Structure 1
């Protein structure tokens, strides 16, 4: 790969999380060994009120690289990501979510892995943090919001999510709006993107040293939220097969889901009776199995966009 000075843009989508956004940006300002690689940091404000503008303005003088602000007033995770891409022409795109904080050599580790393994996209590990969760469920939630992978960097056979990733724009992010805005409210925009990349022969990589922390806010650090997300994750394989009109694969995933649901629901009932902390994992696996069975459009839980904005509005004092 030809290295061009200032060839990386870091995109940070955000929705009304000023303190979390500040933490994420300060972690980016502290990145080492990449001074000549970063072209700009792009903050995409997905709040119709433009509430992140003040945070970006306050921190702009502290940024070692241009800190750009873009307003995407239509709430939606895919819309926010597309808006960030339209703000930069950098050939390499890194994504860091606004609830994440990167370690000082995060970006260097992503770049090193991308260049050494020849992947189109590389992902880094995530430590989940759920400080507000109840003691019995905290280990499950921190694993749920975290991400683990191989001990060493290299090619992997499946993708992860966009948060904590680096992409070769030319191959992984084709066109002006590569994220499907039909996923604005439900998420999964990265699943569709990476499924299409895999179909084109794209390759995925793992950057074992590119650590970031993900801080689950209090309203997400609950069993109910995690199970809804687990159900949505379970829907992914069936929905991907249905989008390809591969009905035998849909049937296969539904059979797998039925088996998972039966086995894990029995385990969950047992763990509930004895009040074992393992009940959270068993309920998670049950939810994923149900998702494979009930994958149909209209049954997707909504976590982003207008749903998240409505929750934020409801929690704001009048």
Structure 2
């Protein structure tokens, strides 16, 4: 089976180079069946020269795709349209894969006959980050079971392997209405789970994540936590037909969580407790479940204007 590794990117040339070179250094995979697709989601082709340079180092074909329409779903769909692989592995442009990453994903997919395989993400903040460092590294990390196996839930698209034939749309599976707020991968995997898709977890398929500096702050993570909290309510509302009972249930859960965790967060902040950011995060996720519709949606992607 042909395998595509896809890296969507937007104005992160240094991170893109690190991610791509980590793919070139993979071991235990057949390079004759492998290709790399880089999707440049900038209005101008700002990554083109970097990809051309990387192509000269690559031990397998590298394809450059310019998708000027801003939005994470547009970028992923453009990459899917260009990819020739039957299996698609996603790596973000702020991630670095150890040498055995792809082989571990492929082995897990074959072992469990999985439609999607997920792996852990280990965030690392630079030494200059001292305030709330532990919380920030946990926020950008992905943890899961200690053992590999079939799971009944799903994670995000970064560090995952998808079987194209299992997708509801093999060319453009990501919902464009999520272009600017994110969650296009959650929507896809939610639809796949409802359709009986098989998910697996492989702890050996882990990657490093190096968050960009402007995200290593509570200003970003608490807003992002709020948006994550909106997910369950928004997914119920987007169901066909809409799951109004589910929306009401999640909104009620959000009211309780935001009130309870907010009180704890306030006390922790007054006492300067070391875990105060964690409780503020929980309160924000609860509030997101309650305030999930249009005016409260936050744009995180697609800002490509100079």
Number of residue pairs the alignment of both structures matches: 304
Match of 1:23 among 7, 10, 18: 18
- CA positional deviation for 1:222: 0.5
Quote the residue 1:104 is aligned against. 99
Structure 2 CA distance, aligned partners of 1:173 and 1:155?
A: 20
Q: Does 1:247 align with 2:268?
A: no
Quote the residue 2:262 is aligned against. 265
Quote the residue 2:36 is aligned against. 41
Provide, for residues 20-68 of structure 1, a one-character-per-residue CA deviation record: whole Å limited to 9, x for no partner: 1000001000000012464310000001110101111111111111011
Quote the residue 2:154 is aligned against. 159
Provide, for residues 124-182 of structure 1, a one-character-per-residue CA deviation record: whole Å limited to 9, x for no partner: 00001221664131110100000010111111111100000000000135242111111
1:137-152 equivalences in 2 (<5 Å): 137-152=132-147
CA contact (8 A) 2:87 2:162 kept: yes
Quote the residue 1:54 is aligned against. 49
Quote the residue 1:118 is aligned against. 113
> Normalization by structure 1: what TM-score?
0.93
Q: Does 1:127 align with 2:122?
A: yes
Please say which of residues 131-140 and 117-126 is displaced more in the overlay. Answer: 131-140
Quote the residue 1:279 is aligned against. 276
**Unaligned regions of 5+ residues in structure 1, if any?**
314-318
> Normalization by structure 2: what TM-score?
0.96
- CA positional deviation for 1:203: 1.6
Aligned CA distance change for structure 1 residues 94 and 173 (closer, same or farther; 3 Å): farther
CA contact (8 A) 1:133 1:221 kept: no
1:209-224 equivalences in 2 (<5 Å): 209-224=204-219
1:78-89 equivalences in 2 (<5 Å): 78-89=73-84
Aligned to 1:305, the other structure's residue is in SS state: coil
Structure 2 CA distance, aligned partners of 1:132 and 1:178?
A: 39
CA contact (8 A) 1:133 1:218 kept: no
Q: Does 1:238 align with 2:233?
A: yes
Q: Does 1:13 align with 2:15?
A: no
Quote the residue 1:316 is aligned against. none
Match of 2:191 among 191, 196, 209: 196
- CA positional deviation for 1:210: 0.4
CA contact (8 A) 1:132 1:218 kept: no
Q: CA RMSD in A?
A: 1.2
Aligned to 2:19, the other structure's residue is in SS state: helix
Provide, for residues 175-197 of structure 1, a one-character-per-residue CA deviation record: whole Å limited to 9, x for no partner: 42111111111111001101110
> Which aligned segments of 4 or more residues in structure 1 are displaced greater than 6 angstroms?
none
